[in-house]
């Protein structure tokens, strides 16, 4: 994790964060209304430490990987894997979910309720209207479940999520019904202690934290 402490890098991180949030759905809009850039810290996660010339290039990957054999459209070919910082990110989310009533919600920017692939989803999927969210709750915050939620929710270039709180009664209802209301999303956003968006072409994340991480 690298912290963007100086004025220029902090402002650039906020700009990227807000740019991605403006392209998100209902949760992203509530997060944009409630997070306070001046009152929190900005950090980034990447596969390896970035030098100053790379640090603020949020739209580009910096760690190209060697191509590997793959089947594409039923035909043999090659593809280049994407380096990631998922292990560190999963550990951070798991630690934050240790607090009672904590929940991590991630928007799925391209899938919709009723999509056939959801029958194979490994994460907890909840809906609001046609919108789709992947959730990890305090009660079952194993790193495997968090990793499943990240993998299934992440889209490039729009990936938005947060860690906040909802009451135990609301969490129980959401897990049972697999539906989250507008009011629950709004209340969750108001309590967000971590807001995150994708960065570096899938390699990492930009993080806003209410308290220093």
- pLDDT of 74 > 80? The answer is no
Give the range among 87-96, 134-143, 175-184 with minimum mean pLDDT. Answer: 134-143
Angle, in degrees to the nearest 10, between helices 26-34 and 182-190: 30
Query: In sequence order, which residues have a C-beta less than 8 Å from that of residue 95 and are 6 or more positions away?
Result: none
DSSP 193: S
pLDDT for 76: 76
Q: Convert the pLDDT of each residue in 16-34 to its tens digit.
A: 999 999 999 999 999 999 8
Confidence of residue 68 (pLDDT cuts 50, 70, 90): low
Closest CA to 89 of 185, 204, 10, 173: 204
Q: Average pLDDT, stretch 100-110? A: 91
Q: Average pLDDT, stretch 89-98? A: 94
Q: Average pLDDT, stretch 162-177? A: 90
pLDDT for 113: 83
Confidence of residue 73 (pLDDT cuts 50, 70, 90): confident
Closest CA to 128 of 29, 201, 203: 29
Q: Average pLDDT, stretch 180-194? A: 94
| Total number of domains constituting the chain | 1
- pLDDT of 81 > 70? The answer is no
Q: The domain containing residue 80 runs over which residues?
A: 2-209
- pLDDT of 69 > 90? The answer is no
């Amino acid at each position: 994790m690298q912290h963007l402490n100086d004025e220029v890098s902090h402002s650039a991180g906020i700009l990227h964060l807000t740019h991605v949030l403006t392209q998100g759905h209902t949760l992203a809009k509530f997060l944009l209304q409630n997070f306070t850039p001046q009152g929190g810290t900005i950090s980034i996660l990447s596969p390896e430490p970035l030098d100053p010339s790379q640090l603020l290039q949020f739209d580009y990957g910096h760690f190209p990987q060697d191509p590997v054999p793959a089947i594409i459209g039923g035909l043999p070919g090659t593809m280049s894997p994407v380096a990631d910082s998922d292990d560190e990110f999963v550990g951070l989310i798991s630690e934050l979910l240790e607090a009672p009533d904590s929940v991590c919600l991630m928007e799925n920017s391209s899938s919709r309720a009723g999509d056939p692939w959801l029958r194979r989803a490994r994460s907890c999927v909840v809906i609001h209207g046609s919108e789709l969210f992947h959730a990890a709750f305090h009660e079952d915050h194993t790193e495997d479940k968090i990793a499943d939620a990240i993998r299934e929710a992440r889209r490039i270039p729009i990936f938005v999520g947060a860690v906040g709180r909802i009451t135990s009664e609301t969490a129980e209802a959401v897990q049972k019904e697999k539906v989250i209301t507008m009011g629950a999303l709004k209340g969750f956003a108001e309590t967000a202690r971590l807001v995150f968006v994708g960065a570096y072409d899938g390699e990492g994340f930009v993080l806003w934290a209410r308290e220093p991480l």
